[in-house]
């Protein structure tokens, strides 16, 4: 079973903010969407480019509960990982997130 990886203290990630964290050599973007934590693999399914890790601030790539790929404008739902607009048609991977002892944590459970 994969281990939970600390992202930040729960009071460090305000609504509309995001953090990148390395989870077993996969870059995972963790978001606070209106007090609800969500996590996706930080790779656009269209061209495998980073979305949050592109160097822009979270507010530049977020629109409500969607992330917009800065390269070609594809949108993905942060709640489900679904691709919402072309040129992306495949979803991005989502990951479980929890708060434990005041810490936001994420893990990659695909291989459990």
Q: Express each pLDDT in 33-78 by its tens digit.
A: 999 999 999 999 999 999 999 988 899 999 999 999 999 999 999 9
Asked if residue 88 is part of any domain, the answer here is yes
pLDDT band at 31 (very low <50, low <70, confident <90, very high): very high
Q: Is the pLDDT of residue 1 over 80?
A: no
β-strands 62-63, 5-9: how paired?
A: unpaired
Percent of the chain at pLDDT exceeding 90 = 90
Domain count, the chain: 1
> Alpha-carbon distance 54 to 51, whole Å?
5
Q: What is the CATH number of the domain that holds 10?
A: 2.102.10.10
Mean pLDDT of the 15-30 span: 95
Residue 36 inside a domain? The answer is: yes
User: Among residues 38, 46, 86, which one has the least CA distance to residue 62?
Assistant: 38
Q: Is the pTM of this model over 0.85?
A: yes
Q: Structural domain of residue 70, as residue ranges? A: 5-106
Cα→Cα distances 49→13, 52, 108, Å: 24, 10, 20
């Amino acid at each position: 079973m994969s281990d939970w990886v600390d992202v930040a203290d729960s009071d460090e990630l305000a609504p509309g903010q995001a953090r990148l964290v390395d989870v077993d050599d996969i870059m995972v973007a963790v978001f606070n969407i209106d007090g609800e934590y969500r996590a996706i693999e930080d790779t656009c399914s269209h061209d495998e480019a980073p979305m949050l890790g592109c160097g822009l601030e979270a507010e530049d790539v977020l629109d409500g509960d969607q992330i917009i790929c800065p390269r070609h404008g594809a949108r993905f739902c942060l709640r489900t990982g679904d691709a919402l607009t072309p040129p992306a048609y495949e979803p991005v991977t989502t990951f479980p997130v929890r708060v434990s002892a005041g810490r936001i944590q994420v893990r990659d459970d695909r291989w459990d």
